Chain A
């Protein structure tokens, strides 16, 4: 198969998978929150609540796109594209099995960190171009937050990279299979917690949702968006949730493999295992979202700079020493 036709197929598969996963996670969030809040609606209405995400998406398609008078129009229109491009781009390095991967980059982890910061541009430009003070504050908060939490995200992964001696995502999973234990048990437990906290902040989910902060900034950088553009922000939030949880399960939880399963069948059970782990992690984040209030901006920065970054540096040191000793 030629490179271009292979690329086309891969792009189409990713573009088909990403929204489906987002819909699945929306459903999980809607039902999870309804269950936690004892709300009967989403558990009963419309085929026991299962068509709810589709109905939401259809609603946004019908909505009129309102572009306020004073916005910087080209920037305003393109901002959602940056965000969704960044999160869909991350599908490149998620391995569903050793072969079921868009491309097993040698610098996979590096690619993850590089691409995930692109969404900052989208969020910042959305806040700036909206010509709304609430949007601007939301955009600036988001930029500060994304920069602050990029660091612990990177640093926590460094420990994994040292232990696995590779940056390729497939390589990291294979190392865990070889090891017998996933990295979360074998030495990288703290890194996993730091990664999940930083990822939650990167995704701007409660308790780190100040950039959106609906009770303070109405909707933050998304305030002026409506219709399909709002839907893009909304859906990229859930794609991001999927991607981050998938990467966390790849790096820390053994990815597409479960111990005791025969590795020669990995192409069949691999995708199911990974998606199962991803949704379990996502459910954890959903449960956190619906039980915690949000931090304040300065508390968030304190947590990043004074707790998470020193801890992850310590983790790198310990991992490196252990690596040399054993």
Chain B
């Protein structure tokens, strides 16, 4: 309370403030850029009254690397190495919308097998991203064990990603018109080109069974924990209306009860051939955001199992010119990334690289709701809410 109170005209006070005569000033608490729970270098300038937060202002830009500008001086195949590093927890998924955009401008028909490989690896990236969330979120609430279990299980998925692409975090695997031949296959001629490593189907089946088991474990260990429920249920409620107004996307939007998933609504990858559900939350609180992501892991594992069942054979690369030049034009392709909607607006002047590239990242839009969600929250809730938004600073600042 920064003003003196008029005893005849007092506002309704919270039960904690007994001594109304004492003037208190809100304390400015600078959370970050170096803080254990800001996922990197996010800075929050919070005004706190005791434990209660009166306002929060996020300060961004500590991680800005200028990828949009850098892309202007790169050729199209080189840009994929950049976009890998935007959301580094799910590097593979970042490549898809960019490559799909370039292919759309060039009017290339991508072979079905390549599409399937892309889809499988995207879902693996989603699973590994949600594993990180399942470790990091309880860690921020104070449970120290799940992160070790999550990391161990994530390693299996990353091993698979590595066996196909050669990279755990930055696969750089997509090529315009298809995917790269498998890493470690040696010098490939056109005749014996290899796409997936030997034993991949079997290993994937085993790993996905383990993922399904891990999801059950998490639902028991984390979701079934009373303290976890007390910390997350009815905390940081995001209503449908606010979520839609602020352009929130991904699991956060779905946790608020909006059934919007670009895997169903768009055709950047052949998701329509698979049978899967979109988990929806009811209350839009932290618990729902956790449970939506965890159920999503199960659906992703199901998609992967279906995809390796009816994997089409055929080429993995469409016919493309040796020097890739994208014809003049512009396009916007968006995709459902683990963190939410990711889109690339490509303007091409017919050169070797994009004339202008606008990247729409999920985390940036998602954390724009922080000031409204945190108003009036308690300091421990700030950590819980931030954790439940599951953002990556590289994805915010790019």
A297 adjacent to B380 (CB under 8 Å): yes
B13 proximal to A (CB < 8 A):
no
How far apart sit A280 and B378, CA to CA, in the bound complex (Å)? 36
Verify B144–A290 contact, CB threshold 8 A.
Answer: yes
Residue of B51, B140, B142, B379 with most partner-chain A CB within 10 A: B142
**Is B106 located at the chain interface by the 8 A CB criterion?**
no
Q: Which residues in chain A, 260-314, are within 8 Å of chain B measured between CB atoms?
A: 289-299
A-B contact count (CB 8 A): 81
Among the 9-residue stretches B82-90, B227-235, B319-327, B364-372, the one with 4 or more Cβ atoms under 8 Å from chain A is B227-235
- A291: nearest chain-B partner, CB-CB: B145
The answer to whether A299 and B230 touch (CB under 8 A), given A215-B142, A293-B143, is yes
Segment with Cβ contacts to B, from A4-12, A34-42, A195-203: A34-42
Shortest B251–chain A CB gap in Å is 20
Q: How far is the CA of A59 from the CA of B202 in the complex (A)?
A: 47
Distance in angstroms between the alpha carbons of A322 and B51 in the assembled complex: 44
Q: Which of A206, A216, A290, A292 contacts B383 (CB 8 A)?
A: A216
| Residue in contact with B148 in the complex, picked from A39, A213, A218, CB distance below 8 Å | A39
Chain B residues with CB below 8 A from A206, complex form = 142-144
Q: Is A210 an interface residue (CB 8 A)?
A: yes
A297 touches B36 (CB 8 A): no
Residues A38 and B380 in contact, CB atoms below 8 Å apart: no
Q: Does B27 contact A (CB under 8 A)?
A: yes
| Chain B stretch 227-257: residues in CB contact (< 8 A) with chain A | 227-228, 230-231
Does A207 sit at the interface, judged by CB under 8 A? yes
Q: Is A214 an interface residue (CB 8 A)?
A: yes
Tell whether, in the assembled complex, residue A293 and residue B231 are in contact, meaning their CB atoms are under 8 Å apart: yes
Q: Give every chain B residue within 8 A of A39 (Cβ-Cβ).
A: 148
B29 on the interface (CB 8 Å rule)? yes
Residues of B within 8 A of A63 (CB): none
In the bound complex, do residue B225 and residue A292 qualify as a contact, i.e. CB atoms below 8 Å apart?
yes
B64 in the interface, Cβ–Cβ < 8 Å?
Answer: no
Q: Is the CB of A37 within 8 A of B379?
A: no
Known interface pairs A38-B152, A215-B37, A216-B37; A293-B379 also in contact (CB < 8 Å)? no
Q: Say yes or no: B228 contacts A214, CB within 8 Å.
A: no
Contact A38 B51 (CB under 8 A): no
Chain B contacts for A36, CB-based, 8 A? 145
Residues of chain B lying within 8 A (CB to CB) of residue A126: none
Q: Is A209 positioned at the interface, with any CB of B under 8 Å from its CB?
A: yes
Within 8 A of B (CB), among A87-103: none
Q: Is B160 an interface residue (CB 8 A)?
A: no
Q: Is A137 an interface residue (CB 8 A)?
A: yes
Q: Decide if A133 is an interface residue (CB 8 Å cutoff).
A: yes
A290 contacts B145, CB within 8 Å?
yes
In the assembled complex, the CB of A188 is this many whole angstroms from the nearest CB of chain B, namely 25
Is B35's CB within 8 Å of the partner chain A?
yes
Measured between C-beta atoms, what is the minimum distance from B138 to chain A in Å? 6
Least Cβ–Cβ distance between A230 and chain B, in angstroms? 17
Chain A residues with CB under 8 A of B261: none
Closest to A290 in B: B145
Among the interface residues B140, B227, B380, which one has the most CB atoms of the partner chain A within 10 A?
B380
* Chain B residues near A289 (CB-CB < 8 A): 144
Question: Mask for B201-226, Cβ within 8 A of A = 1, else 0?
Answer: 00000000000000000000100010
Known contacts A293-B228, A296-B231, A297-B380, A133 near B27 by CB under 8 Å = yes
Question: Would you give 25 A-B contacts (Cβ < 8 Å), ordered by A?
Answer: A36-B145, A37-B144, A38-B148, A133-B27, A134-B29, A206-B144, A209-B142, A210-B380, A215-B140, A215-B142, A215-B383, A216-B379, A289-B144, A291-B143, A292-B142, A293-B138, A293-B142, A293-B225, A293-B231, A295-B230, A296-B230, A296-B231, A296-B380, A297-B378, A299-B230
B residues apposed to A, CB below 8 Å: 27, 29-30, 35-37, 51, 138-145, 148-149, 152, 221, 225, 227-228, 230-231, 378-383
Q: Hey, which bits of chain A sit against chain B, CB under 8 A?
A: 33, 36-39, 133-134, 137, 206-207, 209-210, 213-216, 218, 289-299
A133-B30, A292-B143, A296-B381 are known contacts; what are 19 more A-B pairs with Cβ within 8 Å?
A37-B144, A39-B148, A207-B227, A209-B142, A213-B380, A215-B36, A215-B139, A218-B36, A290-B145, A291-B143, A292-B142, A293-B142, A294-B141, A294-B143, A294-B380, A295-B227, A295-B230, A297-B380, A299-B231
